[in-house]
Amino acid sequence: MVTWSNHIVKMYEYGLAEDKRDAAEAAAAEFVDYLRDVAKQRANSPGEDIVSDLLRSELTEDELVATAVLLLMAGHEATVNVIGNGVNALLTHRDQWERLVASPDLLDPCVEELIRFDAPLQLFERTATTDVEIAGFRVAEGEKIGALLGAAARDPKVFDRPDTLDIGRTPNAHLGFGMGIHYCVGAPLARVEIAAALSSLASKLPGLELAETPERRPEFVIRGLRSLRVTTA
Ligand code: HEM
């Protein structure tokens, strides 16, 4: 499932090579087939899982499958990258890692700061459904605009010392989970997952260090590391 998700989200990127687009389409088709089977099984024998819950709603089969795909993909991609980007940021700003190890009460602001400091999702688009003016700019019906979340996260008008990693930063009005009606439905889960990962690492492996400089994946929209090799002192 992770492999399907990793292939599918490449669709969000610009200038996607044909082989990657084909792999994304093939993965999407396999994922949908798999979920249709799961939906059939759960219809016959419901369990305590999200597909069974969705079946109890009034969604059509297509809507149910699309919702399950969205939840599973959104749930897989960004959180993993916050943990990778975030641990990298902490270990390359050793004072902040040591601050976290010494003060577990900084866990919650630390999660927010890691999402802000190295944003896992860089771009979301909107298409104007009517002519509109936003902040003095006219956007005609049908035109697209892109919100650059990584740039917003370093806006000096919003953040004091925006390029500084400060795990105690409060307030921290980042837009990492979006805003308005499409605000991330998984934000509470993501916060718990990231906090649990950081808490385990900081309490069990306080001597954690990078074993090598990690390599970033080349994609722009979904920003993350190819791998993060670590060692303990
Ligand atoms: C740190 C991790 C995460 C980040 C940074 C993140 C970020 C975002 C952002 C920026 C949006 C708004 C998209 C837009 O405005 O077009 C969004 C929407 C969404 N997210 Fe997350 N997300 C994360 C984790 C999750 C998880 C764990 C789930 C599910 C289990 C999830 C499910 C969704 C869904 C379903 C939407 C669409 C909501 C809608 O359109 O009404 N996300 N997320």
pLDDT digits (tens, 9 = 90+) for 104-130: 999 999 999 999 999 999 999 999 999
Q: What pLDDT shows up at residue 1?
A: 78
Q: What is the mean pLDDT of residues 61-71?
A: 92
Residue 9 pLDDT > 90, yes or no?
Answer: no
Q: What pLDDT shows up at residue 74?
A: 87
Q: What pLDDT shows up at residue 100?
A: 98
CA of 74 to the centre of ligand 1 (A): 6
CA of 112 to the centre of ligand 1 (A): 15
Pocket test of ligand 1: the residue of 184, 191, 192 to mutate, having most ligand atoms within 8 Å of its CB, is 184
Read off the CATH number of the domain in which 148 is found.
Answer: 1.10.630.10
Q: To the nearest whole percent, how much of the chain has pLDDT over 70?
A: 100
What pTM was estimated for this model as a whole?
A: 0.94
- For residue 178, give the ligand 1 atom closest to its CA: 10
Q: What is the mean pLDDT of residues 169-179?
A: 97
39 lines ligand 1 (CB under 6 A): no
Q: What pLDDT shows up at residue 11?
A: 87
Give the number of domains in the chain.
1
Q: What pLDDT shows up at residue 125?
A: 94
Q: Nearest C-alpha to atom 3 of ligand 1 is from which residue?
A: 78
Q: What is the mean pLDDT of residues 134-144?
A: 96
Residue 233 pLDDT > 80, yes or no?
Answer: no
> pLDDT tier at 6 (50, 70, 90 boundaries)?
confident
Q: Where in the sequence is the domain holding 194, given as residue range(s)?
A: 2-232
Report the distance separating Cα 44 and Cα 51, nearest Å.
12
153-170 residue pLDDT tens: 999 999 999 999 999 999
Residue 214 pLDDT > 90, yes or no?
Answer: yes
Residue 75 pLDDT > 90, yes or no?
Answer: no
CA of 28 to the centre of ligand 1 (A): 19
CA of 207 to the centre of ligand 1 (A): 32
